[in-house]
A and B are shown apart, each in its own frame.
Chain A
Amino acid sequence: MKLLAAMSGGVDSAVAAALAVEAGHDVTGVHLALSEAPATLRTGSRGCCSREDARDAARSADVLDIPFYVWDLAARFKADVVDDFVSEYAAGRTPNPCLRCNEKIKFSAVLDRALALGFDAVVTGHHARLADGVLRRSVDLDKDQSYVLAVLTQEQLAGTVLPLGELTKAEVRAAAAARGLGVADKPDSHDVCFIADGDTAGFLRKRLGAQPGPVVDALTGAVVGTHDGAYGYTVGQRRGLALSVPAADGKPRYVLSVSPVDRTVTVGPAAALDVRTVRATAPVRLVDDLPGRCDVQLRAHGAVHACSVHDEADGWRLELASPARGIAAGQAAVLYDGDRVVASATVSAAV
């Protein structure tokens, strides 16, 4: 096949491209320039598109002896991922930008362009198994990224090759070293790539401005503190609340809900975070018939809960067998049948 390998400059995508070459495919590498003002050098484990990363990707392509180009998708990335991230927080939801990037950039803008240019599919270094249209968890459960790929449609998956699903991260690094790829021991990237210093609240404050409001205790209805912007809070959050009135029971309080419209952050005890019913909209099915009972994962690297799925007018109602804690609207609810992804949807409410 003619394959386009998306190469971030990290070890995973370099090994994915290498395995595609070794499988006999005709591989071309591209690095996606996603930042409108790329830094010259990478700093720590954050950021994914400094010029140093582009150079690392180019070096890996050199070693593999494949053509390599840089595609400037900074404008698309800003519109579809960064701006979406900000507006989701402004609306009181908690988005997953990696998932959005896969949905809108890697397996949409890039895949479309690749297909138009005559490639058969896009290769990425995601840790997940994909064969015959069936998406499954990676054998390395710690590194499994099937959650952030679950939003892809059957059509998108048909244009995707994931060579790393059968490998652990350690095996990927060993494979890189064995092939002389200089990125073999490059640190993993974490956090949101476009927030270089990791300060999400600060990033949002700069874009949304201060929007002060009350912090309300769910049990008493009393105002127990103030905040600079509800968007700085996520359901389940405990730290950084700076409450002026202690809880009656003396126990820690957590963010239970965030309402940007009336600028209110509601807090309460841990037990109030427990959720057994989740509503989700905009479902994407990867199988024709959903099993009545399956497992649901409600955040990246989060716990898995057995659940039953019930159709509703605009999506599903999921009844969890065990309580989930701190579920925020905007996150993806991904349904698994064992290790197989069967569907995904966006959490709209948790009860």
Chain B
Amino acid sequence: MAYLDHAASTPMLPEAVAAVTAAMAASGNPSSLHTTGRRARRVVEESREALAQALGARPSEVVFTGGGTESDNLAVKGMYFARRAADPRRTRVLASAVEHHAVLDAVEWLVAHEGATVTWLPVDDVGRVHAEVLADALADDVALVTVMWANNEVGTVQPVRALADLAHEYDVPFHTDAVQAVGQLPLDFAASGVDAMTVTGHKFGGPLGAGALLMGRDVQCTPLLHGGGQERDVRSGTVDVPGVAGLACAATIAVERQPAHAARLSALRDDLVARVQQVLPDAVLNGDTGAGRLPGNAHFSFPGCEGDSLLLLLDARGVEVSTGSACSAGVARPSHVLLAMGAAEERARASLRFSLGHTSTSSDVDALVEALPGVVERARLVRR
């Protein structure tokens, strides 16, 4: 099996599995006051310190959550509510047009239910938001800006520092979804200048369902979950002790290995791109090249094919990939990311994402390159 879908979820690191199972073998509620509770709390707080250390944040800036979607929702809605409460004129959200659905849908919910308006920040043909675009959109009525660190579909890295600085000229808080970036790109919360940052464990070798929102100490955020205020009074619920232990362990290792990991993945990815283009000269590489792209990401459109058909045919040959845009019923829609980049619907539907991770080897690329020409030829027979 060639697993080329690490951007969806990457296998857990053995050390993280060990950390999770060790914490599972222990018991206790970290909020309890007795010895057992204190032991559990110690695991949580050491995990908090380790995660903060790995990501350039202070421990008090780590809010543990149930994953990326929860962190995005907490940031977008919570910061919106708090900013609007402080000044009712602040009802506009600025978000890039290529955000993950966890941000897109949260913003659209605010528009539908909370009187928000949204300005979708357009991107260029590689999917990047330009500073001028944000500068033009900023004004006193903006509640927050949210632009992802790196795109989950086409891998384009955003100029987050520059965008955050611009937002701060208007004293507008800036959130970034950095789910895809941890372990692949150098990442430092303090140095990035952002006010809030979403991360989640299963994209860098930690467990599913464990994530965090890093949030500056002076950032106002209205809670979405009520009932105890365990996490800085902004997120209630008993902390998932094994989950955060695995999250912190994986983050520590992923960040430590990031430079070597990125170099290895970039080389493997460049090989994949070159060989795909060699066997299928009409394949269109979507997104940026070089440092402007996640090291593990390759994303192509295959003219005349549907991504759905390609996925099915590759799956049957043991090559696991993604069309990059899953929907609730599993029905594929043309990617909003590709459409925002100016691609026609046909090209958007004809696309596949190949994403590499820590277990990827050249034999995975070999399997893809061997299967792909026959699969593309077969997929072209499917009438639209």
A residues neighboring B (CB under 8 Å): 28, 31, 33, 38, 51, 54, 58, 67, 69-72, 112-113, 116-118
Contact = CB atoms under 8 A, between A and B. Distances in A.
B331 A113 contact: no
Given A116-B383, A117-B379, A38 B329 contact: yes
B329 A33 contact: yes
27 contacts: A28-B312, A28-B316, A31-B330, A33-B329, A33-B331, A38-B329, A51-B328, A58-B330, A67-B315, A67-B316, A69-B311, A69-B312, A69-B330, A70-B329, A70-B330, A70-B331, A71-B308, A72-B333, A112-B383, A113-B383, A116-B378, A116-B382, A117-B309, A117-B378, A117-B379, A117-B382, A118-B378
Q: Which size bracket describes the interface of B in this complex?
A: 10 to 19
B212 to A, nearest CB: 30
Contacts of B309: 113, 117
B323 to A, nearest CB: 11
B331 A72 contact: yes
B315 A54 contact: no
A67 B381 contact: no
B308 to A, nearest CB: 7
Contacts of A33: 329, 331
A260 to B, nearest CB: 34
Contacts of B381: 116-117
Interface of B: 308-309, 311-313, 315-316, 328-333, 378-379, 381-383
Nearest to A30: B312
Contacts of A113: 309, 382-383
- Report the 5 A-B pairs with minimum CB-CB distance, sorted nearest first: A70-B330, A116-B381, A72-B331, A116-B382, A54-B329
Please report whether the interface of chain A is mostly helix, strand, loop or mixed according to DSSP: mixed
B312 A117 contact: yes
Contacts of B383: 112-113, 116
Contacts of A31: 330
A124 B308 CA distance: 21
Nearest to B384: A113
Nearest to B382: A116
Nearest to B311: A69
Contacts of A54: 329-330
Contacts of B315: 67
Contact of B332 (A51, A72, A116): A72
A148 to B, nearest CB: 24
Nearest to A71: B308
B8 to A, nearest CB: 16
Given A113-B383, A116-B378, A69 B329 contact: no
Contacts of B330: 31, 54, 58, 69-70
B121 to A, nearest CB: 29
B328 to A, nearest CB: 6
A58 B328 CA distance: 13
Contacts of A117: 309, 312-313, 378-379, 381-382
Given A116-B383, A117-B378, 19 more contacts: A28-B312, A33-B329, A33-B331, A38-B329, A54-B330, A67-B315, A69-B308, A69-B311, A70-B329, A70-B331, A72-B332, A113-B309, A116-B378, A117-B309, A117-B379, A117-B381, A117-B382, A118-B313, A118-B378
Given A112-B383, A113-B382, A117-B378, A51 B312 contact: no
B384 to A, nearest CB: 10
A226 B330 CA distance: 47
Contacts of A72: 331-333
A31 B330 CA distance: 10
Contacts of A112: 383
Q: Which of B308, B315, B331 neighbours the largest number of chain A CB atoms within 10 Å of its CB?
A: B331
Contacts of A28: 312, 316
- The residue in A33, A112, A113 that gathers the most chain B C-beta atoms within 10 A of its C-beta is A113
B281 to A, nearest CB: 23
A71 B323 CA distance: 13
Contacts of A116: 378, 381-383
A106 B204 CA distance: 42
B98 to A, nearest CB: 22
A112 B381 CA distance: 10
B306 to A, nearest CB: 9
B374 to A, nearest CB: 10
Contacts of A67: 312, 315-316
Contacts of B333: 72
A67 B1 CA distance: 14
A58 B330 CA distance: 10
Nearest to A52: B329
B55 to A, nearest CB: 36
A165 B382 CA distance: 30
B346 to A, nearest CB: 14
A95 B383 CA distance: 27
Name the residue among B315, B378, B379, B382 with the largest chain A CB count within 10 angstroms: B382
Given A116-B382, A118-B378, A51 B313 contact: no
Nearest to A54: B329
A320 to B, nearest CB: 41
A33 B332 CA distance: 10
> Which residue among A28, A67, A72 has the maximum number of chain B CB atoms within 10 Å of its CB?
A72
Contacts of B328: 51
Nearest to A70: B330
A71 B306 CA distance: 11
A116 B305 CA distance: 12
A117 B315 CA distance: 12
A69 B331 CA distance: 8
Contacts of B308: 69, 71
Contacts of A71: 308
Nearest to A68: B330
Nearest to B309: A117
A28 B317 CA distance: 13
Chain B CB count within 10 A is highest, among A51, A67, A117, for A117
